[in-house]
């Protein structure tokens, strides 16, 4: 992956995030790819990869800045509030793996 261009890396990262990270609502798991949030998360986290600064605090800050509209747009919640702790851990693990590969 070291020679892959930015678009390929973002697409691959978004796909992996979309398949492995979900929001939990009333014990229903909605994977980020199904919620159409995987690309947004990948684009938000990509600068952490390039600056070699992936850590839990920065990932949480990124997730806090991504707002998800609920109730037909009547309210917005930070994505961090919808992710179970295990999915946060999975996301950090995915980002660390990509950081090592680029």
Domain spans, the chain = 6-101
Alpha-carbon span 35 to 23, nearest angstrom? 9
What pLDDT shows up at residue 71? 93
**Cβ proximity of 28 and 35 under 8 Å:** no
Q: What is the pLDDT of residues 43-62, one digit of tens each?
A: 999 999 989 999 999 999 99
Q: How far is CA 8 from the centre of its chain?
A: 16
Confidence of residue 1 (pLDDT cuts 50, 70, 90): very low
73-96 residue pLDDT tens: 999 999 999 999 999 999 999 999
* Stronger pLDDT, 102 or 18, i.e. the higher one: 18
How far is residue 79's CA from residue 54's CA, in Å, rounded to a whole number? 18
Query: Is the CB of residue 23 less than 8 Å from the CB of residue 80?
Result: no
Residue 4 confidence class, pLDDT cut points 50, 70, 90: low
């Amino acid at each position: 992956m070291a020679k892959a261009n930015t678009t390929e890396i973002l697409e691959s990262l978004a796909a992996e995030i979309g398949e492995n990270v979900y929001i939990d609502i009333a014990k229903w798991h909605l994977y980020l790819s199904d919620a159409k949030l995987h690309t947004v998360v990948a684009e938000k986290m990509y600068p952490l990869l390039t600056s070699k600064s992936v850590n839990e605090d920065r990932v949480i800050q990124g997730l806090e800045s991504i707002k998800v509209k609920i109730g037909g747009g009547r309210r917005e919640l930070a994505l961090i509030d919808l992710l179970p702790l295990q999915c946060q851990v999975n996301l950090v693990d995915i980002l660390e793996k990509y950081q090592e590969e680029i």
